[in-house]
Chains A and B, each alone.
Chain A
C-alpha cells in the first residue's frame, strides 16, 4: 500500500492512516485526548527547539529518519542543559510513499522517544505530490532545572573541550548508502541524554555544550569561538576518528572535521573538572570513545596543532563538502 493524495484529504483515508499507523505507536495521556493542541504543565525556565529532517535515503545503517527526527530535537534541548519532555511532529509525505516504510519510521520514532523519556504530544500530516519521499519536522520542549545555565557565552579561556566520540560516522554512512558502497560504517544517530545525565549527575559545571551535526566539528567550534569571544586550540592527535571513516574520507577527499554527525557532542568544562568529566562521559554508552581534544584560549578562531607538529587554521565549512573529482 502506498500513500495517495486521499491520505491527506482529512477524510476516511486520513483517519485510517491516523489509527493504523500513527495511533498504533504514538500513545500517551496527552496525545490520546485527540484535541487541537496539547495542554502542558510548565513552570520555570524551558528550552524550546525545532528541526526538520529530509535525509535520503530515509533508512540507513544504524537508524532512519524517524529515529533521527527524535534524537535531533532531543539533543538540541539537552545541549541547553534541559531535560527534554515533549515533542510535536509534522509529517510531509509524498504520494507513492510505501505505508510499510512509514510505519517502520513511526515505530522507530516511538522507540526513540520512549528511550529518551519524551512524550510525542502533538502532530500533523500533509500529503504532497512527489516520488514517495517523506520529511519530518519535530519541535521539542525541555525543562531547565533550577540553577542550571549552559551557554556558549559562559566559555572561559582555559576551559577544556571534550568530544563525545568518533567523528564522521553518520555522514560517511549516508554517503556510502547514496554511492552504493558496501562497508561497515554505521550512523551514530543517538540521543545524548546518557552523557548529559552523567555530567550533571557527577556535579560537573558544564559551561557550554553543542551537538556536532551539520558542518562538523570545524564549523561548530568556530561558531562557539565566535559566540564566546574566545579562541580554540585543538590537538589533532586527540581527535577520535575510526579507521573506516578515515579511509573513506581519504578516498573521497573529504575532511572528517567537516563531516556531519547525529550522536556526537562537545562540552566545555573548567580545567579542574576536565579529568572527572571525561571519565563520566566515558561511562555513558554514547560517550565511550570520548576524548579531551583541546581548550579555549584567549584570542579568536580555531587553530589545530597537527599530528606532525605543524599548525592549521580550522575555518568553517564552505559550500557542501562534496566529493571531489580525483
Chain B
C-alpha cells in the first residue's frame, strides 16, 4: 500500500479508541525522531513498552557492576547506556569519577583482546540485553572457553521478551495491540507471539525500524482492529525476520544459557524471563543470580508506570522537574532508548 494512503488512513482514523504498545526501545526512538505521533489521529495512541534493557535492569545489578569496578585488578566493561543508570550506590559514571575502572565497549568481543593483552586484570563484562544481544555474549563465552582465557567474567542481566509481553497481557488490560520488536524477532522468529495472541485475543505485528515500516505496522494493527481482527500475528519485517528466526543464534543461546526467573525494574519478578550462563560455561558467571533488590523509586518517580505503558512520560510529576537526561532520577530517563529520555 502506498505511504500517502497509509498516512491518510491513520490521520483520519475515526474508529474505536486504540492504544498500541511499541515494545522495543528502538521503535520508541524512531517514532519520536520521525514525529509519527503528530501524524496519527488522536484516536490512536502509541505507548512505549518495557523494551529498553537498561531501563528494566534492577539496582542490585548496577551495584554489583560498581562493586567489581572498584575492586583491585578488576575492570568493568560495559556499553555506554549503563553508565548513568542509578543503583543504590550511585552510578557507574560517578564511580568512575571516584577512580573505578570502567571501560566502554562497542562490541563484547573487544574484551578478548583486552584480556589477552593484560593478563593481570580480570575483565568483568556487563552483559545486559534481550535476545538481540544474548547470542553475542554466548559466542563470547564460547571463544573465552576455546581460548582458555581465565580473566573474563560476565555479570548477566539478559532477558527474554515473550514472558514480559505475557505479563503485560495479563496485567494491563487496556492495550489493544502490540508492535513487536524487529531485532528480537530476527532471533526468535514468530514463536511466542502466536500463543499470546491466541490466549489474550490481541494482535501482534512485527515491524522494521524505518518510520515508514512503523507506520505500515500501525496501519496494519489499526485497520485490523477496526475490522474486528484481533487474533492475528503479522510479520511486516520479512526482509529480516524469518518465521523460525535465526536457528544458529537460538542454538548457541541454548548451548550457553538456561532460563531462570528475572527481576524487571518497575515490574517485578517474571518467571523464566532471564538467561543465565549454564553447564560448562557457568564458570564464567560473575555472580548474576539473585540480583533482585531494586531501589525503591524516589518519591514522585513513576518509571514503573511508564515502563508498562500506564502513563506517558510527561504525565510523571518528575518529568522535566528534577528528572532530566543530565540528572536522571529513574532509569527511563537514563538511557538514550529509555522512554523518558526519548520523550525529551
Contacts and interface: CB of A to CB of B under 8 A. Distances in A.
Contacts of B132: 326
Contacts of B29: 253
Interface in B52-90: 53-54, 79-84
A306 interface: yes
A147 interface: no
A307 B211 contact: yes
Interface residues of A, number: 27
Nearest to A316: B325
A319 B39 contact: no
Given A322-B336, A324-B337, A325-B129, A310 B38 contact: yes
Contact of A318 (B25, B83, B344): B344
Contact of B106 (A175, A250, A307, A320): A175
B331 to A, nearest CB: 13
A115 B195 CA distance: 66
Nearest to B79: A325
Contact of B212 (A179, A308, A321): A308
B133 interface: yes
Contact of B33 (A255, A323, A326): A255
A326 B39 contact: no
A326 B183 contact: yes
Contact of A320 (B80, B82, B128): B80
B337 A253 contact: yes
Interface residues of B, number: 43
Nearest to B133: A326
Interface string A282-326: 000000000000000000000011111111100100111111111
A325 B39 contact: no
A165 to B, nearest CB: 21
Given A175-B106, A179-B106, A322 B33 contact: no
Contacts of B211: 306-308
Given A179-B107, A324-B80, A325-B79, A311 B35 contact: yes
Nearest to A252: B106
Contact of B25 (A308, A320, A326): A326
B185 interface: no
Contacts of B25: 324, 326
B106 to A, nearest CB: 4
A309 B38 CA distance: 9
Given A178-B106, A309-B7, A318-B344, A324 B336 contact: yes
Given A253-B26, A324-B336, A326-B26, A308 B325 contact: no
Of the candidates A178, A252, A309, A326, the one having the most CB atoms from chain B within 10 angstroms of its own CB is: A326
A306 B133 contact: no
A311 B38 contact: yes
A310 B36 contact: yes
A306 B129 contact: no
Interface string A244-280: 0000001011010000000000000000000000000
Given A318-B325, A318-B326, A312 B84 contact: no
A322 B81 contact: yes
Interface string B202-220: 0000000101100100000
Contacts of A315: 344
A322 B34 contact: no
A179 B110 CA distance: 8
Interface string A112-150: 000000000000000000000000000000000000000
A100 B196 CA distance: 63
A323 B36 contact: no
Contacts of A324: 25, 79-81, 335-337
Contacts of A307: 34, 211
Of the candidates B37, B84, B106, the one having the most CB atoms from chain A within 10 angstroms of its own CB is: B106
A178 B113 CA distance: 13
Given A306-B33, A308-B34, A319-B84, A325 B128 contact: yes
27 contacts: A175-B106, A179-B106, A179-B110, A253-B26, A253-B337, A305-B35, A306-B34, A307-B211, A308-B7, A308-B34, A308-B35, A309-B39, A310-B39, A311-B38, A312-B33, A312-B35, A315-B344, A318-B324, A318-B325, A318-B326, A320-B80, A321-B336, A323-B106, A324-B79, A324-B336, A325-B79, A326-B130
Interface of B: 3, 7, 25-26, 29, 32-39, 53-54, 79-84, 104, 106-107, 110, 128-130, 132-133, 183, 209, 211-212, 215, 324-326, 335-337, 341, 344
